[in-house]
Amino acid sequence: MRKFYYKAINLKANKIKGRCECDSSNKLRQILREKEYYILSFREIKNYRAKKKFTLKENAMFCKKLYDLLSSGISLINALNIMGSQSEDDFSKAVFLQLVEDVSKGKSLNGSIKNSNNIFPNFTVFLTKIGEDSGNLEKIFNMLYKHYYSRYMLKNKIEKALIYPSITVLLFFITVIFMRIKVLPVFLSMIKELGGDIPISTKIFLWSIDNIWIVIVFFLIVIFTSIIKNKSFLQSIKFKMPYIKKYLIMWEQIKFIESLNVLITSGVSIIDAITLILESTSNIYIKDKYKMVLEEINKGENLFKALEATELFSKQVVSMFYIAETSGKMDSCTENLVKILNDDFTLKLDKLVKMIEPFTILIISIFIGFMLLGVLMPIMNITSSLSV
């Protein structure tokens, strides 16, 4: 069965729009004609379930628009209708129309979102239920917007920081391949014609380029074997890489504390909050750490000691949670901690980018310089001997 979105008009010149499930566009026309409606325009709605879930930006915009509309006094169904009509892509439009349909049938917004085939994260599903039960749906969506938008902006900063080194490395490989195909053969033939010997360093370089696929296959086999033995290997190894791990750990700390702050502010207990964060986490290595936290709390341990036992959280974070627990101001302390960590992470990320830019250029310059010297030195030696 295909789904269509249509706009039509009746004999009284009243315009309507809606969705219809039928076998073909001709069947759609027939169904509407029987109701004395005449099509103005229509288009097929592609299966929105083909896309797994909303991105961080889409989640932030969904929560922001719904908050703005609800706080303006617009009903939930009308708000979802407006959002659907303003959506630019078929996927979002289909999602909102499905939500309108479910809510119109008497379903709660929480139930409708929960049945959307994981398009919305568990975090949104859980807090929507709290918002509906407490009557603070507007407040909840405002908190969710700030949460997702903060996560999106931080992720965007990380991606921007990686653009320069990624482009530089790509250009480096293109340069090496070009030199191997076009430049080096010319110099090597000149050395042979002049009766010189190719340096060992140049031979090693040429062999490494020509046989790089052997090295790649070897590493892939090692990684694949490790994954079969331990599925969390690939997800945990990056947290053990020197220098990089501190940025990854800080990123995970920010996500955890920010999520915990939103949930605690919404009235969720510590255990339920950590359970939800655990369920929303995809990385197996991090999941194991959060499971450890839950186990320690269930044994009667304080939260700050449970976090310390994971060795994932810094001393600064642990001490702040100690203050939060002893003072009883967990919501305000976690909010302040998120701001501190966000600012610290941004500063360190900016410093890393400034360090990477000259470092990558220096490494590439040295590599290409040695490669050219390995080829040019024999030619210079031959020409100098001939002149003598």
128 and 192 inside one domain: no
- Cβ burial 287-305 (10 Å sphere, 16+ → b, else e): bbbbebbbebbeeeeebbe
Length of the chain: 388
Host domain of residue 35: 2-45
Residue 384 forms part of a structural domain:
no
Residue 100 tokens, joined: 């309108």
Residue 41 forms part of a structural domain:
yes
Q: What is the pLDDT of residue 50?
A: 45
35 and 60 inside one domain: no
134 and 240 inside one domain: no
Q: Report the alpha-carbon distance of residue 261 to residue 253 in Å, rounded.
A: 12
276, 226 contact by CB (below 8 A): no
Closest C-alpha to 369, from 193, 201, 123: 201
Q: Report the alpha-carbon distance of residue 371 to residue 136 in Å, rounded.
A: 66
Residue 363 forms part of a structural domain:
no
Residue 352 forms part of a structural domain:
no
Among 323, 338, 353, give the residue marking a domain's end: 338
15, 7 contact by CB (below 8 A): yes
36 and 83 inside one domain: no
Count: domains in the chain: 3
Q: Report the alpha-carbon distance of residue 269 to residue 273 in Å, rounded.
A: 6
Q: What is the pLDDT of residue 291?
A: 92
Tens digits of residue pLDDT in 71-111: 989 998 899 888 888 887 778 888 888 888 888 888 888 88
127 and 94 inside one domain: yes
Closest C-alpha to 43, from 30, 62, 28, 64: 28
Q: Report the alpha-carbon distance of residue 285 to residue 291 in Å, rounded.
A: 10
Q: What is the pLDDT of residue 382?
A: 67
192 and 294 inside one domain: yes
Residue 162 forms part of a structural domain:
no
Residues of the chain with pLDDT under 50: 48-50
Tens digits of residue pLDDT in 29-62: 888 888 888 888 887 765 544 456 788 899 999 9
99 and 40 inside one domain: no
Q: Report the alpha-carbon distance of residue 154 to residue 161 in Å, rounded.
A: 11
